């Protein structure tokens, strides 16, 4: 049934397709909750926020039309509590749930619980979440779809199988959590002498983080770039690809800087990456926004590592290049409206810098506390996605992301200059942050040249951080 807009009883415009798709519950916090609320507001869709007692005074609670406290600060008791989140949605008459990223965004059980309770899950099918959440199944599905994957074990490995694989392909190798992703539980093994210890540590981390100690093993491609392709699919055969983002600058698998287009991807390689991503999405019947992660190596070759079945933190980089609002696209697909009409031509260069409440001088330890003064940069080509305001108290219970400064300019050089200008203009007083460190990274000759790999921070990070006297 075509989507139509009509004025609801309380006078608000709402997307209607026979049943009310309004309001939307945002099952998240921080800057992604603010981002989704903004997208809903522009479409005239009401919003319901959920919050833990630690977030009672936060921006997403203030901005939403309605807010429901779902428990104490501990994620397991609040943002990860499926029953509490579902109850908040059903008792407030929500038609749909947006999971954001992190927390329950890639829990198939949550997507199922939404559907079992008559709520539209704004995201992929539970089946797609499940398949891509099992990194071995994901590799197998992609390989069957003709996608090149990193050489790796066909299934989980015990220590002896890991040793045999490593002998066959040669060190270095990477141990990865089957139920993992994003680098958590990942261990680089440089030679046979350290494999056993690395296996024990990786299995322990995997068990702790994902309740499964299963590991698989891959050849480590270290002189590579981490490039990811943004896709949006309607689940009925329409697939849009929106270019790539380079996310090679990561510290302990936390992305610090992301940019598009990647300075290491040629036009021919971009076309091949996007065609490969399109084919994979068609093969699996993917629905919603998603990102296929690849390692790109010299010679225009690339290898699939994993697929993220959610919106990503760095999505604004793609939005600035293409002009497409990816959250609007998610809402439209969930409401049965299909892909954005305007798939956008691409222009210029965009670059995102994450600003975290961490102290680089103290090994990036988290720095919760009160933001006494926050002044975001403004001016041409600058966007700041954040949930912080003057007086905001950064809680110690969640991730340390305070704000993302995203810039757009005609080319990479101008984008770099704009990013440095914007970061110098940014003021966050009250807690130590990674702002100054990020400026150093942007100005490092290796990064500025565009000729960097995933090893960048491993190689150059130490020279960028002045250890504190403390």
Residues engaged in binding ligand MV4 (CB under 6 A): 150, 174, 182-183, 218-221, 224, 226, 248, 250, 253, 293, 295, 305-306, 454
Instruction: Return the half-sphere exposure (C-beta side, CA atoms, 13 A cut-off) of residue 48.
Output: 22
Burial classification of residue 420, based on how many CB atoms lie within 10 Å of its CB (0-12 exposed, 13-18 middle, 19 or more buried) = middle
3-state secondary structure of 215: strand
Of these residues, 29, 187, 287, 310, which one is catalytic? 310
Q: Which residue is nearest to ligand MV4 (CB)?
A: 183
Both structure tokens of 86:
């579902």
**Minimum CB distance to ligand MV4, residue 199 (Å):** 16
**Torsion (CA) 69, 72, 74, 79 in degrees, nearest 10:** -10
- Per the CB < 8 A criterion, the answer to whether 51 and 67 are in contact is yes
Residues found in the chain = 470
Q: Of 93, 117, 133, 114, give the one whose Cα is nearest residue 27.
A: 114
Rg (CA), the chain: 22
Burial 332-371 (b: 16+ CB within 10 A, else e): bbbbbbebbeeeeebebbbbbbbbbbbbbbeebebbeeeb
Please report, for the chain, how many H helices and E strands are present, in that order.
15, 25
**Minimum CB distance to ligand MV4, residue 304 (Å):** 10
Nearer to ligand MV4, 26 or 265 (CB): 265
- Per the CB < 8 A criterion, the answer to whether 344 and 322 are in contact is yes
| 310 is annotated as an active-site residue | yes
**Minimum CB distance to ligand MV4, residue 180 (Å):** 9
Nearer to ligand MV4, 247 or 409 (CB): 247
Distance CA(78)–CA(87), nearest Å, equals 12
Distance CA(1)–CA(108), nearest Å, equals 27
Nearer to ligand MV4, 274 or 293 (CB): 293
Verify cis geometry, omega within 30 degrees of 0, for the bond prior to 233.
Answer: no
How many angstroms separate the Cα of 121 from the Cα of each of 5, 107, 144? 20, 11, 28
**Minimum CB distance to ligand MV4, residue 368 (Å):** 25
How many angstroms separate the Cα of 217 from the Cα of each of 60, 84, 174, 195, 251? 40, 37, 6, 11, 21
Nearer to ligand MV4, 219 or 387 (CB): 219
Q: What backbone torsions phi and psi does residue 422 show, to the nearest 5 degrees? A: -65, -40
Nearer to ligand MV4, 28 or 453 (CB): 453
**Minimum CB distance to ligand MV4, residue 273 (Å):** 16
**End-to-end CA separation in angstroms for the chain:** 64
Nearer to ligand MV4, 147 or 394 (CB): 147
**Minimum CB distance to ligand MV4, residue 120 (Å):** 29
Nearer to ligand MV4, 28 or 250 (CB): 250
Nearer to ligand MV4, 183 or 348 (CB): 183
**Minimum CB distance to ligand MV4, residue 346 (Å):** 23
In 190-329, DSSP assigns E strands to 215-219, 225-234, 239-251, 254-260, 287-297, 301-308
The DSSP secondary structure of 351-420, one letter per residue, reads EEEEEESEEGGGTTEE--EE--EEE---STTEEEEE---TT-EE-SSS--EEEEEEEEESSHHHHHHHHH
**Minimum CB distance to ligand MV4, residue 260 (Å):** 16
**Minimum CB distance to ligand MV4, residue 313 (Å):** 13
Nearer to ligand MV4, 250 or 356 (CB): 250
3-state secondary structure of 139: helix
State the catalytic residues: 310
């Amino acid at each position: 049934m075509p989507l139509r807009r009509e004025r609801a009883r309380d006078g608000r415009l709402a997307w209607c397709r026979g049943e009310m798709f309004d309001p939307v519950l945002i099952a998240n916090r921080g800057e992604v909750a603010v981002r989704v609320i903004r997208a809903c507001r522009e479409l005239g869709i009401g919003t319901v926020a959920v919050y833990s007692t630690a977030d009672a005074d936060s921006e997403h609670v203030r901005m939403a039309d309605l807010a429901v406290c779902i428990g104490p600060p501990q994620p397991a008791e609040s943002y990860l509590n499926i029953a509490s989140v579902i109850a908040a949605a059903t008792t407030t008459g929500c038609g749909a749930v947006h999971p954001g990223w992190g927390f329950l965004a890639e829990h198939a059980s949550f997507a199922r619980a939404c559907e079992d309770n008559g709520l539209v899950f704004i995201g992929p099918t539970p089946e797609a979440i499940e398949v891509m959440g099992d990194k071995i199944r994901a590799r197998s599905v992609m390989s069957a779809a003709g996608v090149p994957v990193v050489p790796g074990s066909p299934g989980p490995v015990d220590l002896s199988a890991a040793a045999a694989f490593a002998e066959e392909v040669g060190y270095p190798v990477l141990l990865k959590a089957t139920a993992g992703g994003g680098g958590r539980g990942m261990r680089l093994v440089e030679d046979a002498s350290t494999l056993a210890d690395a296996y024990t540590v990786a299995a322990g981390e995997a068990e702790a983080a994902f309740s499964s100690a299963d590991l698989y093993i891959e050849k480590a491609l270290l002189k590579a770039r981490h490039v990811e392709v943004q896709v949006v699919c309607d689940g009925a055969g329409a697939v849009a690809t929106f270019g790539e983002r380079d996310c090679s600058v990561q510290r302990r698998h936390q992305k610090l800087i992301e940019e598009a287009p990647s300075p290491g991807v040629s036009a021919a390689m971009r076309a091949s990456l996007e065609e490969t991503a399109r084919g994979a999405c068609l093969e699996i019947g993917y629905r919603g926004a998603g990102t296929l992660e690849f390692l790109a190596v010299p010679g225009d070759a690339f290898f699939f590592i994993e697929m993220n079945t959610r919106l990503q933190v760095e999505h604004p980089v793609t939005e600035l290049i293409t002009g497409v609002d990816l959250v609007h696209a998610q809402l439209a697909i969930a409401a049965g409206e299909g892909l954005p009409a305007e798939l956008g031509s691409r222009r210029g260069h965009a670059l995102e810098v994450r600003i975290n409440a961490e102290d680089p001088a103290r090994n990036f330890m988290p720095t919760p506390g009160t933001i006494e003064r926050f002044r975001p940069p403004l001016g041409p080509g600058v966007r700041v996605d954040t949930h912080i305001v003057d007086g905001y108290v950064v809680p110690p219970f969640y991730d340390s992301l305070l704000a993302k400064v995203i810039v757009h300019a005609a080319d990479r050089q101008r984008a770099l200059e704009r990013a440095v200008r914007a970061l110098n203009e940014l003021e966050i007083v009250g807690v130590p942050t990674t702002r100054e460190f990020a400026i150093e990274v942007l100005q490092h000759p290796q990064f500025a040249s565009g000729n960097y790999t995933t090893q960048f921070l491993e190689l150059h990070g130490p020279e960028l951080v002045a250890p504190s006297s403390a």
